[in-house]
Structure 1
Amino acid sequence: MPFINPEDGHLTVLNLFKTDTRPRVDTLVKEMSKIVDTAAFPGWISSTVHRGEEKPGTLNFIQWRGMQDLESRYNDSEFKHHTVPVFREITTYVRLMQTEVESSLRHPALGDVTEVSPARDDYTVIEVLGVDPAEQGALVAAQAGAHDWLVDVPGYRSQTVLRGIRSRNLEGGDRTLATVGTDRDFVVVYSQWDGKEAYDAFRTQAESEWSAVRRTFRAKRDSLTTSADWNSYRAVHTRSATEPAAV
């Protein structure tokens, strides 16, 4: 199963898809899973498909050896002439985010490594935070520091902070990808919780009931972010390069 470890040095790509109906989410999961099951791309390490819970959509958490391998995949004829048209048809929004893991921390009860797996029952929350590239480092540091007080929040399991490198979508001409925004203008936070009830209790807690450290963190984060988008997910399908591809 995939593990998140900053020391691995993987390029982590988060392919975020939104759509407008639950049946289209089923189609997205099916199409993404077919790609995962047959993947044999040079430099590809693992993929884990996540189904959107709060809002319709999916996210594929993909680990690559490096940028050159990913670019080779994007330039592949099958990607341009099959993958891009299929996902254009069934999505309302696409963002392919290249990132590097800055930190991955867990509740002390959960051991030494963050695992991403459908075999677990994690309620996963993924936030995409917009930021001025000049402030990206400060936002990464502030968000990583939140783990120190999140460990006392009921239901919290882990938090991974990923530094954004570059984003793309499917809107380029002739089945190519287009760049979104500017390089290093976002940060992704991937967190795991016991369940929806625990996360909702945390998210909707009245501000008057926040601890002083949470209040300070939120003020700092709000001063650094230019936008924020989130959804909750369940990991539903995974495969690593060490496992055989489907025939």
Structure 2
Amino acid sequence: MPAITTQDKHLTVLNLFTTDAPEKQDTLIQEMTKIVQAAAYEGWMSSTVHSGVDSPGTANLIQWRSSVDLENRYAGEEFKHRTLPVFGEITTSIRLLQNEIVHTVTHPSLGGVVDVDPQRDDYTAITVFGVAQEDQDELIEVLSVKQEDIASVPGFRSLSVFKGLRARGVEGAFVVLYSQWESKEAYDAYRGLPESEQSPDRQKAEARVRDLVTSVDSNTYRVVLTRSADA
């Protein structure tokens, strides 16, 4: 089972696809499922497909041994002449994000392990923050510190901070928040907590995040498929 951890030094890729209709999301998932089930690429470790909830789209969390292995995949004839054209026909945007996992926090019951598994039925939120290159490290620090008391929030399961390394379909530096929740209600309650009821530390951190980011894009998902190379 794939896990998100700062201990492993492999490359974490997050491929985000948006589309304009639920039926196109279904087609996206079908095409991704074909690729994941047949995957045998050199250096490929795992893929976990997420189905969009709030907006039509998909997310594929992929673990690679190294960026060299990934670039070899991108350079392949199959990727260039079949995979990209197929997805291009049914999507409104494609973002291929390469990342390093820099911070994780979990509910105490999970023992510090961030698993990604359809059997858990997590309500997953993925937010991509655009940021100036010179502000990326500060944003990571603020986002990490801001979450120190999140483990006690009702319905919280895990949160991970990804440092963006490079990307296709995204201009400039970026940081990703990947969080897992028991339900939509729990996530919405945390996100919608009035500022007057937030801790002073959270208020300060939220204000600094607003100052630092240049763009924010978010969607929520359910995990529908996962497969590892050693499975």
Using structure 2 for the length normalisation, give the TM-score.
Answer: 0.97
Contact preservation (8 Å) 1:107, 1:158: yes
Contact preservation (8 Å) 1:124, 1:232: yes
Query: 1:219 maps to what in 2?
Result: 207
Q: Which amino acid aligns with 1:217?
A: A
Percent of residue pairs identical: 52
Query: 2:68 maps to what in 1?
Result: 68
| Matches of 1:38 and 1:146, distance apart in 2 | 40
| Cα deviation, residue 201, structure 1 | 1.2
2:152 pairs with 1:181: no
How far does the alpha carbon of each residue in 1:156-183 deviate from its partner, in whole angstroms, 9 at most, with x for none? 11110000011103xxxxxxxxxx313x
- After TM superposition, the structure 1 = structure 2 runs for residues 153-164 of structure 1, keeping only pairs within 5 Å, are 153-164=153-164
Query: 1:175 maps to what in 2?
Result: none
| Cα deviation, residue 45, structure 1 | 0.3
| Cα deviation, residue 206, structure 1 | 2.2
| Cα deviation, residue 188, structure 1 | 0.4
How far does the alpha carbon of each residue in 1:139-171 deviate from its partner, in whole angstroms, 9 at most, with x for none? 1111111221212221111110000011103xx
Using structure 1 for the length normalisation, give the TM-score.
Answer: 0.91
Aligned to 2:164, the other structure's residue is in SS state: strand
Query: 1:234 maps to what in 2?
Result: 222
| Cα deviation, residue 222, structure 1 | 1.0
| Matches of 1:35 and 1:145, distance apart in 2 | 37
| Matches of 2:149 and 2:204, distance apart in 1 | 11
Q: Which amino acid aligns with 2:132?
A: D
Query: 2:134 maps to what in 1?
Result: 134
| Matches of 1:95 and 1:104, distance apart in 2 | 23
- After TM superposition, the structure 1 = structure 2 runs for residues 28-39 of structure 1, keeping only pairs within 5 Å, are 28-39=28-39
Contact preservation (8 Å) 1:142, 1:221: yes
| Contiguous gaps of at least 5 residues in structure 1 | 170-179
How far does the alpha carbon of each residue in 1:77-126 deviate from its partner, in whole angstroms, 9 at most, with x for none? 01111101100000001100011100121111211311011111211000
Query: 2:27 maps to what in 1?
Result: 27
2:87 pairs with 1:87: yes
Contact preservation (8 Å) 1:25, 1:56: yes
Contact preservation (8 Å) 1:149, 1:214: no
Match of 1:197 among 175, 181, 185: 185
Number of equivalences: 231
Contact preservation (8 Å) 1:99, 1:163: yes
| Contiguous gaps of at least 5 residues in structure 2 | none
What is the CA RMSD across the aligned residues, in angstroms? 1.0
| Matches of 1:42 and 1:142, distance apart in 2 | 36
| Matches of 2:197 and 2:33, distance apart in 1 | 42
Contact preservation (8 Å) 2:105, 2:151: no
Q: Which amino acid aligns with 1:198?
A: A
Misfit runs of 4+, over 4 Å: none
Contact preservation (8 Å) 1:149, 1:213: no
| Matches of 2:226 and 2:181, distance apart in 1 | 19
Q: Which amino acid aligns with 1:227?
A: S
Aligned to 2:119, the other structure's residue is in SS state: coil
| Matches of 1:36 and 1:203, distance apart in 2 | 33
Q: Which amino acid aligns with 2:50?
A: H
| Cα deviation, residue 205, structure 1 | 2.2
Query: 2:108 maps to what in 1?
Result: 108
Query: 1:177 maps to what in 2?
Result: none
| Matches of 1:206 and 1:226, distance apart in 2 | 23
